[in-house]
Structure 1
Amino acid sequence: MGADAAPPSGPALAAGRPGGPAAAGPGHLAADPAVTAALTAGLGPDAKDLRGLSPFSSLAEVLAVLDLAGDATPPLPVRCLPSAHGGVLGAQLLAQQIVLAERLAPGRTTQTMHTVFPNPGRFDAPVDVDVEWLQAGRTYATLALTFRQDGRPISRGDVLLGAHERDFVRHEPARPDGWSGPDAAAPVDHPMLPWEVRVAPGPSPYGLDLWQRIPDAPADPALARALVAFTSEPLLVPRVTTAHADRGAVSLAPDQRLSAAILAQTITFAEEVDAREWHLVRIDSPHAGNGRVLGRGEVYRADGRLCAVFECVGMLRALAPKRAT
């Protein structure tokens, strides 16, 4: 789904405003103008505190919607975070899928998860989760988690989980080029990430390096993975839109509005990550066009070890105004 947005010029993006009600269409809103404003401000010298643009403001609120048990009978009810645009946050759905899958399959951890967002939803309406076991063995388990609202799917996550195993072979990348630690990044109060966040330019004009640590997070590896997935989702569309706006390469006519959504996302975990310690979320976009934007990212520990990779496809287009009915 999309939402109205201010014309993407520098001042308009920096100002930001809450989005309107969700429009009909696939997916969910990936980032409203408040998130775009936060990222713009985080990379510039002004407006370091935009936390007031978010309807939620604390880690406790995020953890509350991740308080899920695996011993209930499906369909399982879940709670939603409020959102400025009225929709269900994709970041929340990704995080809930990881926690719920690991609660349902104890002793196994999320290896990879692919999630699609076929329909919009509203945060103020009930959401239930259907659980389908695709496979369960000694080492691996595969689940399909479908989040529904009024009987209609708003997301489906296919989750592959596995038990820990010893190395047979091992290789991993060296510390990435352009590496700079959190001390070299600019602090920013991000409206979607109510914890310590610092940002710096990424590996390309369409990239971003975001350092974060969540010292008050529980010592729960499932929640750590969930919080990493939560962070990975709301970054791509604002960064790409801002980068094009900074170059003067995007504009909206007075009768147009911006429609932006993440349609699908995959995240794969390679190593454990402790959300309480500094870790880097690096995003980049190799392509945007045809009304779509492709994104990819990596998550590194502060020592340079790769922990996770993710990819997403988003919708980014200009729409004519809604006709009065």
Structure 2
Amino acid sequence: MDQALQSLLDLLDLERIERDIFRGRSRSAVVPRVFGGQVAAQALVAAGRTVPADRTAHSLHAYFLRPGDPGAAIVYTVDRIRDGRSFTTRRVVAVQHGQPVFHLSASFQTYEEGLDHQTAMPPAPDPETLLTAAEALPRRLPPHIAERMVQARAAVDLRYVDAPPWASVGEPREPRSQVWFRTNGKLADDPLLHVCLATYVSDMTLLDSVLLAHGRGGWAVGDVVGASLDHAMWFHRPFRADEWLLYDQESPSAHGGRGLGQARIYTRDGQLAISVIQEGVVRVPRD
């Protein structure tokens, strides 16, 4: 297994302190705060470890309350809201330095047959025809920033279909972005693990489409200050995070210092696996 992926899996392997209390390590991504995808994935791990194995996550709703401290552990407390015949609901609060930094509600369901339809997968080039992050980033960004971004994404093979925001500054275009992604190595068959890794990746690029609409490059070029506010995901069909997934993202609105991103994630064979919505702070720095 790729060393960076093993490091990420170790990060998601929480320490169980009490029956419903877990502790996770933290690390900085490319900014001096905990990466939002990390705390969301860890919170979902905590919730999932209190749920029967035959129930899989079908949705999560979360709020980012405070910037996480990458130098401190995060304690996750799970509240067992409900255990029904078909559905299980959990609430998780992540705490650092005595204060809540993140709140998540997640629901799990036993599999059952039902109605079945989906939106068709949009066209996209094969991922093998696209540049990897390690190939693309050094061509577009200063070396020190490119190196940090490559390291932060080393566990995931993430490939942009079109130029990302930091590569098209000053060129407003349709607020839509596509990326292919998969983990840099094979994973165990545990469905919770694949859902948690998809949750981790889902926070990496979702607000890109907001920036594209205005020709902004984001934190990498310093023309926007941003942070995730809330995040929601619905897991529709089985998928593997170690196989190619298409993240099709768009922004329907930006206003009042906030931007909204919404997306669908498809398996390579066209199955709609996940729907995602996120709102974030998107501020233009004052001179």
Residue of structure 1 in register with 2:205 after alignment: 235
Runs (5+) with no aligned partner, structure 2: 135-148, 164-172
Counterpart of 1:224?
A: 194
8 A contact 2:86–2:110 mirrored in 1 = yes
- Name the amino acid aligned to 1:102: G
Taking the TM superposition and a 5 Å limit, the aligned residue runs for 1:167-178 are 167-176=113-122, 178=123
Equivalent-residue separation in structure 2 for 1:65 and 1:185 (angstroms):
29
Amino acid at match of 2:240: D
Query: Which residue, out of 115, 133, 137, partners 1:188?
Result: 133
Unaligned runs of 5+ residues in structure 1 are: 1-56
CA distance in 1, matches of 2:68, 2:118: 39
Between stretches 123-132 and 143-152, larger displacement belongs to 123-132
Deviation for aligned residue 1:281 = 1.3
Greater share of strand residues, 1 or 2? 2
For residue 199 of structure 1, report the CA deviation from its aligned partner: 1.5
Contact (CA 8 Å) 2:206, 2:263: kept in 1 or not?
A: no
In structure 2, relative to structure 1, the CA distance for the partners of 1:71 and 1:101 (3 Å cut) is same
Counterpart CA distance in 2 for 1:213 and 1:257 is 29
Q: How does 1:290-305 map to 2 (within 5 A)?
A: 290-305=256-271
TM-score by length of 1: 0.72
Check the 8 A contact 2:22/2:46 in 1, yes or no: no
- 8 Å contact kept, 1:70–1:103: no
Map of 1:148 onto structure 2: 95
Closer/same/farther in 2, CA of residues 303 and 319 from structure 1, 3 Å limit: same
Distance, in Å, in 2 between the alignment partners of 1:174 and 1:223 is: 26
Counting only pairs closer than 5 Å after superposition, residues 115-264 of structure 1 correspond to structure 2 as 115-165=62-112, 167-176=113-122, 178-189=123-134, 191=150, 192-194=152-154, 195-201=156-162, 205-214=174-183, 215-245=185-215, 258-264=224-230
1:283 maps to 249
How many percent of aligned residue pairs carry the same amino acid? 26
SS in 1 for 2:43: helix
CA contact (8 A) 1:69 1:100 kept: no
Give the counterpart letter for 1:286 in structure 2: P
Structure 2 distance, partners of 1:239, 1:129, is 31
How far apart, CA to CA, are the structure 1 residues paired with 2:6 and 2:187?
Answer: 9
Higher relative contact order (CA 8 A, sep 6+): 1
Specify the alignment match of 1:65 in structure 2: 11
Deviations 1:152-204 (A, max 9, x none): 11000000111111x2322222232x3332234332236332232221039x7
* Deviations, residues 223-263 of structure 1 (Å, cap 9, x unaligned): 111111111112133453355236xxx99xxxx97421110
1:221, CA displacement in angstroms? 1.5
Matching of residues 24-103 of structure 1 within 5 Å: 58-68=4-14, 72-103=18-49
What's the secondary structure of 1:100's corresponding residue?
helix
User: Could you tell me how far 1:89 is from its partner in structure 2?
Assistant: 1.2
Cα displacement (A) at 1:128: 0.7
> Equivalent residue of 1:95, what SS?
helix
